Amino acid sequence: IATMSRHVDDIRNMLFDEPDFDSDNNDDEIKSKTVRRKQRKKLQKQLEEKKKPSVETIAFRDPSKKKKILNKSNTSSPVSQQNENVEFDLEKARFDVHKFGIKGFEKSKYEDARVALAVGLGAKPPKRKFINYRELIEQNRAKKAKEKEEEENARLLGDIFHKSPNNKQKSKQKRIGEGDVGSMRFSSVGKFQGGVLKLTDKDISNLLKQHSYRLYSSQVISSSSLKSNPSNIIYSSQKVADLLQKQSNCLQIFDNYLTDNENNNFLKEIDGYMKRKRYEYSHWDNAIHGYRESERSEWTPENQQVLSHIRQLAFDDPTQTLVHVHVLDIAKDGYIKPHIDAIRYCGTTIAGLSLLSSCVMRFVHKDDKTLSIDVLLKPKSLYIIK
């Protein structure tokens, strides 16, 4: 009977999943036989998979097709280079130079430069910090004293009219950023207002009485039948006129160098890409106010022919000139501040075409500031500086 009951229990355990209690360890954990059976099968499969060798994949590449792909990429590269825009992105270069330059500032100046850059890109300027009224008065006094000192230095360095210091000046003058320079800093004759130099009858009469008014004619170019037209030049002294006569080729002015058709061709090509740019009021070296610029290396055949003639006329070796032509557009309220062009970047000769509006160029000796001349550049004129 005992063996019979034991056999029945074995059959029942095989047919039904009854829990098996481990009475030896006295644990409450219940394990099913089927669960343990599945675990054993799973372990066996894992061992079998480990024993099997891993599948090796081989990628075959046809050498002939590979050569065709390389040939296609080589033939497409010059086409892609030709399709690239020949215009040099000066805005990006200026931004990179500015961003690199402000890294050398101190922490406070670096933060101010970042704020100024963000405001220039269109961000709202931060609110002014609170300051004590007495401190504000002291700052304004120091600011006015500094402006007077700068005005006196500018008058001594660049003015051809030595105005008496007793002349009354306006108490409120607009800042340079608003396009109203007044009689300060960069103006010597009249006043700059809205980017326009305004002369009164008194200024003109003083000019004719106190200073020599002469006509400067460039010499005839022997290699060409082109003759330079006389241009009005105001000398600060007779010494300047004598220096220019000794070195007649250092400054040449050609009025009406371009014909109306050539002038229109240049304006049409330049306006096509310059009108998409916006005027900038902060230059990376603080030399220009209110401008937009670009550099071009390729022009239409008509304009390229004119530029080739200018290179042959102005430069001793036309093959050594820069590839890019600098195009500069000054805003209505813009102007170029006093600066010295570096020979390292500009060379010993500069040739430029004056388009659209008439303008006045002032040249001041770098050592003796009393030696200066004012040159009137009319539209369609060419100037050569050596």
Chain segment 162-190, per-residue pLDDT in tens: 444 445 444 444 444 444 444 444 445 66
* The pLDDT of residue 88 is above 90: no
Residue environment code for 213-250, b if the CB has 16+ CB neighbours within 10 A, otherwise e: eeebebeeeeeeeeebeebebbbbbeebbeebeeeeee
pLDDT range class, residue 143, cuts 50, 70, 90: very high
pTM for this predicted structure? 0.43
Helices (H) and strands (E) in the chain, counts: 11, 13
Q: What is the percent of the chain with per-residue pLDDT over 70, rounded to a whole number?
A: 65
Q: What is the pLDDT of residue 217?
A: 35
Question: Between vectors from CA 173 to CA 168 and to CA 176, what angle results, nearest 5°?
Answer: 130
Question: Between vectors from CA 341 to CA 238 and to CA 306, what angle results, nearest 5°?
Answer: 90
Residue 353 · residue 266 · CB < 8 Å: yes
Residue-wise pLDDT tens digits, 22-47: 444 444 445 567 777 888 888 888 88
Question: Which domains does the chain show, CATH number per domain?
Answer: 2-51 (no CATH), 88-126 (no CATH), 131-165+177-210 (no CATH), 213-386 (2.60.120.590)
Residue 351 · residue 321 · CB < 8 Å: no
Residue whose C-alpha is closest to residue 264's, from 172, 360, 166, 380: 380
